[in-house]
Structure 1
Protein backbone atom coordinates (compact mmCIF):
# COMPACT_ATOMS: atom_id res chain seq x y z
CA UNK A 1 0.00 0.00 0.00
CA UNK A 2 2.79 2.44 0.91
CA UNK A 3 4.54 1.89 -2.41
CA UNK A 4 1.33 2.74 -4.26
CA UNK A 5 0.94 5.96 -2.25
CA UNK A 6 4.53 7.00 -2.96
CA UNK A 7 3.97 6.25 -6.63
CA UNK A 8 0.73 8.25 -6.69
CA UNK A 9 2.41 11.23 -5.03
CA UNK A 10 5.30 11.06 -7.49
CA UNK A 11 2.85 10.95 -10.39
CA UNK A 12 1.64 14.39 -9.31
CA UNK A 13 4.98 15.85 -8.17
CA UNK A 14 7.10 15.08 -11.22
CA UNK A 15 4.84 16.70 -13.83
CA UNK A 16 4.29 19.67 -11.51
CA UNK A 17 8.06 20.12 -11.26
CA UNK A 18 8.39 20.09 -15.03
CA UNK A 19 5.47 22.46 -15.62
CA UNK A 20 6.56 24.86 -12.89
CA UNK A 21 10.12 24.94 -14.19
CA UNK A 22 8.92 25.67 -17.73
CA UNK A 23 6.49 28.37 -16.58
CA UNK A 24 9.14 30.12 -14.51
CA UNK A 25 11.72 29.90 -17.30
CA UNK A 26 9.26 31.42 -19.75
CA UNK A 27 8.75 34.41 -17.45
CA UNK A 28 12.38 34.87 -16.44
CA UNK A 29 14.89 34.66 -19.25
CA UNK A 30 17.90 34.63 -16.94
CA UNK A 31 21.04 32.63 -16.41
CA UNK A 32 20.01 31.84 -12.81
CA UNK A 33 17.93 28.62 -12.62
CA UNK A 34 14.80 30.15 -11.08
CA UNK A 35 12.58 27.18 -11.98
CA UNK A 36 14.60 24.62 -10.05
CA UNK A 37 15.04 27.08 -7.19
CA UNK A 38 11.25 27.57 -7.04
CA UNK A 39 10.30 23.89 -6.93
CA UNK A 40 12.96 23.12 -4.34
CA UNK A 41 11.75 26.00 -2.18
CA UNK A 42 8.12 24.91 -2.39
CA UNK A 43 9.02 21.28 -1.66
CA UNK A 44 11.04 22.27 1.41
CA UNK A 45 8.17 24.38 2.71
CA UNK A 46 5.76 21.45 2.34
CA UNK A 47 8.18 18.95 3.91
CA UNK A 48 8.81 21.32 6.80
CA UNK A 49 5.07 21.59 7.32
CA UNK A 50 4.69 17.81 7.34
CA UNK A 51 7.49 17.52 9.88
CA UNK A 52 5.89 20.26 11.99
CA UNK A 53 2.63 18.33 12.05
CA UNK A 54 4.50 15.35 13.50
CA UNK A 55 2.28 12.53 14.62
CA UNK A 56 -0.84 14.40 13.45
CA UNK A 57 0.00 13.27 9.90
CA UNK A 58 -0.82 9.59 9.38
CA UNK A 59 1.95 7.49 7.86
CA UNK A 60 0.08 6.89 4.59
CA UNK A 61 -0.40 10.64 4.07
CA UNK A 62 3.26 11.25 4.88
CA UNK A 63 4.26 8.65 2.27
CA UNK A 64 1.96 10.23 -0.32
CA UNK A 65 2.91 13.87 0.26
CA UNK A 66 6.40 13.68 1.75
CA UNK A 67 8.13 10.84 0.01
CA UNK A 68 6.08 10.69 -3.18
CA UNK A 69 4.97 14.21 -4.01
CA UNK A 70 7.85 16.23 -2.51
CA UNK A 71 10.42 13.63 -3.51
CA UNK A 72 9.39 13.99 -7.14
CA UNK A 73 8.78 17.75 -6.96
CA UNK A 74 12.19 18.66 -5.56
CA UNK A 75 15.38 17.91 -7.39
CA UNK A 76 18.88 17.88 -5.98
CA UNK A 77 20.27 16.36 -9.15
CA UNK A 78 19.01 19.17 -11.39
CA UNK A 79 20.23 21.74 -8.85
CA UNK A 80 23.69 20.16 -9.01
CA UNK A 81 23.66 19.86 -12.79
CA UNK A 82 22.59 23.47 -13.30
CA UNK A 83 25.25 24.67 -10.87
CA UNK A 84 27.89 22.76 -12.85
CA UNK A 85 26.56 24.25 -16.07
CA UNK A 86 27.00 27.72 -14.58
CA UNK A 87 30.61 26.86 -13.73
CA UNK A 88 31.20 25.57 -17.26
CA UNK A 89 29.86 28.84 -18.65
CA UNK A 90 32.24 30.64 -16.31
CA UNK A 91 29.30 32.24 -14.53
CA UNK A 92 31.01 31.71 -11.18
CA UNK A 93 28.98 34.30 -9.31
CA UNK A 94 25.71 32.79 -10.46
CA UNK A 95 26.93 29.32 -9.52
CA UNK A 96 27.91 30.47 -6.03
CA UNK A 97 24.68 32.42 -5.70
CA UNK A 98 22.71 29.34 -6.73
CA UNK A 99 24.37 27.18 -4.08
CA UNK A 100 24.15 29.70 -1.26
CA UNK A 101 20.63 30.94 -1.93
CA UNK A 102 19.23 27.46 -2.53
CA UNK A 103 20.68 26.03 0.67
CA UNK A 104 19.79 29.02 2.86
CA UNK A 105 16.35 29.64 1.37
CA UNK A 106 15.35 25.96 1.39
CA UNK A 107 16.45 25.51 4.99
CA UNK A 108 14.54 28.67 5.85
CA UNK A 109 11.45 27.43 4.02
CA UNK A 110 11.58 24.10 5.84
CA UNK A 111 11.92 25.91 9.17
CA UNK A 112 9.07 28.26 8.30
CA UNK A 113 6.81 25.37 7.29
CA UNK A 114 7.74 23.45 10.42
CA UNK A 115 7.16 26.40 12.76
CA UNK A 116 3.88 27.46 11.16
CA UNK A 117 2.29 24.01 11.16
CA UNK A 118 3.71 23.09 14.56
CA UNK A 119 2.14 26.26 16.01
CA UNK A 120 -1.23 25.37 14.48
CA UNK A 121 -1.21 21.69 15.39
CA UNK A 122 0.76 21.72 18.65
Structure 2
Protein backbone atom coordinates (compact mmCIF):
# COMPACT_ATOMS: atom_id res chain seq x y z
CA UNK A 1 0.00 0.00 0.00
CA UNK A 2 2.88 2.37 0.77
CA UNK A 3 4.34 1.72 -2.71
CA UNK A 4 1.05 2.74 -4.34
CA UNK A 5 0.87 5.94 -2.30
CA UNK A 6 4.48 6.82 -3.14
CA UNK A 7 3.85 6.29 -6.86
CA UNK A 8 0.69 8.40 -6.72
CA UNK A 9 2.41 11.21 -4.82
CA UNK A 10 5.38 11.17 -7.21
CA UNK A 11 2.98 11.21 -10.17
CA UNK A 12 1.27 14.29 -8.75
CA UNK A 13 4.64 16.01 -8.31
CA UNK A 14 5.67 15.14 -11.86
CA UNK A 15 2.37 16.48 -13.16
CA UNK A 16 2.79 19.74 -11.26
CA UNK A 17 6.33 20.13 -12.55
CA UNK A 18 5.10 19.53 -16.11
CA UNK A 19 2.45 22.23 -15.62
CA UNK A 20 4.92 24.78 -14.25
CA UNK A 21 7.50 24.04 -16.96
CA UNK A 22 4.76 24.60 -19.55
CA UNK A 23 3.83 27.94 -18.00
CA UNK A 24 7.45 29.03 -17.80
CA UNK A 25 8.25 27.94 -21.36
CA UNK A 26 5.23 29.78 -22.73
CA UNK A 27 6.30 32.99 -21.03
CA UNK A 28 10.04 32.67 -21.65
CA UNK A 29 10.12 31.11 -25.10
CA UNK A 30 6.75 31.90 -26.62
CA UNK A 31 3.81 29.78 -27.68
CA UNK A 32 4.46 29.34 -31.41
CA UNK A 33 6.22 26.02 -30.67
CA UNK A 34 5.40 23.51 -27.88
CA UNK A 35 8.62 24.17 -25.97
CA UNK A 36 7.27 23.06 -22.59
CA UNK A 37 6.31 19.64 -23.93
CA UNK A 38 9.69 19.26 -25.63
CA UNK A 39 11.51 20.20 -22.42
CA UNK A 40 9.65 17.76 -20.17
CA UNK A 41 9.80 14.91 -22.70
CA UNK A 42 13.54 15.34 -23.19
CA UNK A 43 14.23 15.65 -19.47
CA UNK A 44 11.96 12.67 -18.78
CA UNK A 45 13.82 10.51 -21.32
CA UNK A 46 17.14 11.41 -19.71
CA UNK A 47 15.88 10.76 -16.18
CA UNK A 48 14.10 7.48 -16.93
CA UNK A 49 17.20 6.08 -18.64
CA UNK A 50 19.42 7.23 -15.76
CA UNK A 51 17.17 5.71 -13.09
CA UNK A 52 16.60 2.47 -15.01
CA UNK A 53 20.33 1.93 -15.61
CA UNK A 54 21.23 2.68 -12.00
CA UNK A 55 18.48 0.37 -10.76
CA UNK A 56 19.63 -2.45 -13.04
CA UNK A 57 23.35 -2.19 -12.35
CA UNK A 58 23.62 -1.06 -8.73
CA UNK A 59 21.87 -1.25 -5.40
CA UNK A 60 21.59 2.55 -5.24
CA UNK A 61 17.92 2.47 -6.25
CA UNK A 62 15.50 0.06 -4.61
CA UNK A 63 12.63 -1.50 -6.59
CA UNK A 64 10.16 0.76 -4.78
CA UNK A 65 12.18 3.89 -5.51
CA UNK A 66 12.57 2.83 -9.16
CA UNK A 67 8.80 2.44 -9.54
CA UNK A 68 8.18 5.67 -7.66
CA UNK A 69 10.50 7.60 -9.96
CA UNK A 70 9.73 5.93 -13.30
CA UNK A 71 6.05 5.05 -13.10
CA UNK A 72 5.14 7.86 -10.70
CA UNK A 73 7.26 10.94 -11.23
CA UNK A 74 8.29 10.44 -14.87
CA UNK A 75 4.83 9.12 -15.73
CA UNK A 76 3.39 12.41 -14.49
CA UNK A 77 6.16 14.52 -15.98
CA UNK A 78 6.41 13.27 -19.55
CA UNK A 79 3.71 14.11 -22.01
CA UNK A 80 3.85 11.99 -25.11
CA UNK A 81 0.09 12.19 -25.44
CA UNK A 82 0.34 15.98 -25.45
CA UNK A 83 3.20 15.78 -27.94
CA UNK A 84 1.07 13.67 -30.24
CA UNK A 85 -1.94 15.98 -30.02
CA UNK A 86 0.12 19.14 -30.51
CA UNK A 87 1.93 17.67 -33.52
CA UNK A 88 -1.32 16.48 -35.10
CA UNK A 89 -2.81 19.93 -34.55
CA UNK A 90 0.17 21.58 -36.24
CA UNK A 91 -0.29 19.30 -39.27
CA UNK A 92 -4.06 19.81 -39.26
CA UNK A 93 -3.46 23.58 -39.29
CA UNK A 94 -1.16 22.99 -42.27
CA UNK A 95 1.89 24.14 -40.30
CA UNK A 96 3.90 21.47 -42.07
CA UNK A 97 7.35 22.83 -41.25
CA UNK A 98 6.64 23.42 -37.56
CA UNK A 99 4.94 20.04 -37.23
CA UNK A 100 7.85 18.24 -38.88
CA UNK A 101 10.34 20.19 -36.78
CA UNK A 102 8.48 19.26 -33.58
CA UNK A 103 8.42 15.60 -34.62
CA UNK A 104 12.10 15.49 -35.54
CA UNK A 105 13.44 17.51 -32.60
CA UNK A 106 11.36 15.57 -30.08
CA UNK A 107 12.25 12.12 -31.40
CA UNK A 108 15.95 12.81 -31.89
CA UNK A 109 16.26 14.94 -28.75
CA UNK A 110 14.56 12.36 -26.54
CA UNK A 111 16.62 9.52 -28.00
CA UNK A 112 19.84 11.44 -27.41
CA UNK A 113 18.73 12.37 -23.88
CA UNK A 114 18.13 8.67 -23.18
CA UNK A 115 21.62 7.79 -24.45
CA UNK A 116 23.09 10.55 -22.26
CA UNK A 117 21.13 9.28 -19.25
CA UNK A 118 22.51 5.79 -19.80
CA UNK A 119 26.06 7.14 -20.15
CA UNK A 120 25.64 9.32 -17.04
CA UNK A 121 24.51 6.31 -15.02
CA UNK A 122 27.46 4.26 -16.27
CA UNK A 123 29.82 7.10 -15.36
CA UNK A 124 28.28 7.39 -11.88
CA UNK A 125 28.93 3.74 -11.12
CA UNK A 126 32.28 3.56 -12.92
CA UNK A 127 31.36 1.26 -15.81
TM-score category of the 2 structures, normalised to the smaller one = over 0.9
Normalised TM-score (structure 2) = 0.90
Runs of 4+ in 1 over 2 A off after TM superposition: none
In 2, Cα distance between the equivalents of 1:102 and 1:38? 9
For residue 52 of structure 1, report the CA deviation from its aligned partner: 2.0
Partner of 2:122: 118
**CA offsets, 1:46-88, max 9 Å, x none?**
1111122124321111111111000100011100010011112
1:63 to 64, 67, 72: 67
Which deviates the most, 111-120 or 17-26? 111-120
Number of matched residues?
Answer: 122
2:84 to 80, 87, 90: 80
1:103 to 90, 97, 107: 107
Q: Is the 8 A contact 1:24 1:35 kept in 2?
A: yes
Which deviates the most, 48-57 or 95-104? 48-57
Normalised TM-score (structure 1) = 0.94
The CA RMSD measured in Å over matched residues stands at 1.2
Q: Is the 8 A contact 1:43 1:73 kept in 2?
A: yes
Residue 90 of structure 1: SS of its match in structure 2?
coil
Structure 2: tracts of 5 or more residues without a match:
none
Q: Is the 8 A contact 2:52 2:66 kept in 1?
A: no
In 1, Cα distance between the equivalents of 2:11 and 2:47? 14
